[in-house]
Amino acid sequence: MKKIYFDHAATTHLDSKVLEKMLPYLKTKYGNASSLHNYGQESKDAIEKARKELANILKCSSEEIIFTSCGSESDSLAIIGYALANKSKGNHIITSKFEHPAVLEACKFLETQGFEISYISITKQGLVDIEKLKKSITKKTILVSIMHANNEIGTIQPIEEIYKICKDKSNEYKTKIVFHTDAVQTFGKIEINSSMADMISISAHKFYGPKGIGLLYKKSGINIKPIIHGHQEKNLRGGTYNTASIVGMAEAAKIAQKEKDVINKKLKNLTEKLTNEVLKIENTWINGIGKGAGENKLPGLVNFGFLLIEGESILMHLDNKGIMCSTGSACSSDSLQASHVLLALGLKPEEAHGSLRISLGKENTEEDIDYFLSVLPEIVEKLRNMSPFKNKAQLKSFKGNSTCR
């Protein structure tokens, strides 16, 4: 049976060129980078070379790169680490209602530690309400964390504008309001660099690098406390260096920088064809910014809503046809709760449950799209015929609820 992978927002395959770069550090160059002997120093040199390569892409100093195990750890190190190191300056943190669970859980923890968290609402288009964010900043605000692009609906947030607001408010209040962004979905796909935030979280497996490695860019002069204690990474993140994966992340980042313009053009064309055809299915819509979104949406990521059916049901029927996609974030896929992202858009729970996220990657083809489009309408029709919502009165009432079509 034909196998098609449409879940690149969850993870990507390891690029063969990346694996080739990693293999020596898994087999022959296996020294611990903290060891003083030749094998250890060989690994250390490879790590520092990778650090410089990643710093060049982020347009920062290599001293500002902290290696972590993943994007979630990078988020926690940035948010919890900064909050605990600077609690004497203020106890107020601002984030949004549709952040990745890694950010939201870090903020929930800080609430137990005496911090006040403001969760900013988003518009029906899936963008952070800038005016509400601006009004939420007070003299006690020490940190703002807003993701660069949402992992479920793909909307790109105006982080440069938000960063400027933080700087302006810092000058107004004669304090320091640090801006952190979770760029896990954007690094390697669209431009993100050190001029756009004080701290940036990145994860390699989202751009064809290995799982289990990420980084936090932290601007020089910003103080944080470690959440994993140890002497590595200037005492900011303990643990034996994952040399092979660090080397792999740098290689994946370099490849992504070279390929992204060509890939993005391809993904834009595939997404346009996909969207035009799927929306021909009755009572179907796009969650977040719709068609013609241009640069406000990640290339290749679209979240569809289907009236009267469960996204999980569509997902399983597609899986039986060899098509792998998602209903939302992989990090919360075990939850039976409706997506917090879609609820934040204003959808009712029953509408939010009818979502399907398609996230394309560089290996996808027009033939993949054609195959998907050949099986989806039949699946939707079958599931709707099984739906308990069958009479016209229920359908009319239900149709009026969606705010994002």
Give residue for tokens 């751009």. 207
Q: Is residue 395 part of a domain?
A: no
Backbone conformation region of residue 357, classed left if phi is above 0, alpha if psi is from -120 to 50, else beta: beta
Give residue for tokens 């406390």. 225
Across 43-52, 299-308, 318-327, 333-342, least confident range: 333-342
Judgement on whether residues 223 and 361 belong to the same structural domain of the protein = no
CATH number at residue 298: 3.90.1150.10
15 DSSP 8-state letter: P
pTM over 0.85: yes
pLDDT band, very low/low/confident/very high, at 336 (cuts 50, 70, 90): low
116 DSSP 8-state letter: E
What average pLDDT does this structure show over 282-290? 91
The one-letter amino acid code at 349 reads P
The parent domain of residue 306 ranges over 4-10+260-387
What average pLDDT does this structure show over 207-230? 98
Across 53-62, 116-125, 205-214, 288-297, least confident range: 288-297
Nearest CA-CA partner of 298 in 274, 267, 329, 257 = 267
pLDDT band, very low/low/confident/very high, at 335 (cuts 50, 70, 90): low
- Exposed / middle / buried, residue 390 (Cβ in 10 Å: 0-12, 13-18, 19+): exposed
What average pLDDT does this structure show over 258-281? 96
Judgement on whether residues 180 and 280 belong to the same structural domain of the protein = no
Q: Is residue 111 part of a domain?
A: yes
What average pLDDT does this structure show over 224-231? 97
Q: Which residues contact 325 (CB under 8 A, 6 or more apart)?
A: 6, 7, 315, 318, 356, 357, 358, 359
- The confidence score (pLDDT) of residue 392 equals 44
Residue 249 contacts residue 70 (beta carbons within 8 Å): no
- The confidence score (pLDDT) of residue 289 equals 86
Q: Is residue 75 part of a domain?
A: yes
pLDDT band, very low/low/confident/very high, at 290 (cuts 50, 70, 90): confident
Judgement on whether residues 81 and 157 belong to the same structural domain of the protein = yes
Residue 24 contacts residue 42 (beta carbons within 8 Å): no
Q: Is residue 122 part of a domain?
A: yes
Tell me, yes or no, if 325 is annotated catalytic.
no
- Exposed / middle / buried, residue 23 (Cβ in 10 Å: 0-12, 13-18, 19+): middle
Q: 314 pLDDT exceeds 90?
A: yes
Judgement on whether residues 238 and 329 belong to the same structural domain of the protein = no
Judgement on whether residues 41 and 115 belong to the same structural domain of the protein = yes
- The confidence score (pLDDT) of residue 371 equals 98
Number of structural domains the chain divides into: 2
Judgement on whether residues 79 and 141 belong to the same structural domain of the protein = yes
pLDDT in tens, 130-174: 999 999 999 999 999 999 999 999 999 999 999 999 999 999 999
Q: Radius of gyration (Cα) for the chain, nearest Å?
A: 22
Q: 186 pLDDT exceeds 80?
A: yes
Q: Is residue 400 part of a domain?
A: no
What average pLDDT does this structure show over 175-195? 97
Q: Is residue 403 part of a domain?
A: no
Judgement on whether residues 335 and 349 belong to the same structural domain of the protein = yes
Residue 339 contacts residue 405 (beta carbons within 8 Å): no
Nearest CA-CA partner of 9 in 253, 302, 251, 226 = 302
Judgement on whether residues 246 and 266 belong to the same structural domain of the protein = no
Q: 49 pLDDT exceeds 70?
A: yes
Q: 301 pLDDT exceeds 60?
A: yes
Out of 255, 272, 291, a domain closes at: 255
Catalytic residue among 107, 325, 331, 404: 331
CATH number at residue 44: 3.40.640.10
Judgement on whether residues 275 and 251 belong to the same structural domain of the protein = no
Q: 341 pLDDT exceeds 60?
A: yes
Q: Burial code of 37-67, b = ≥16 C-beta within 10 A, e = fewer?
A: eeebebbbebbeebbebbbebbebeeebbbb
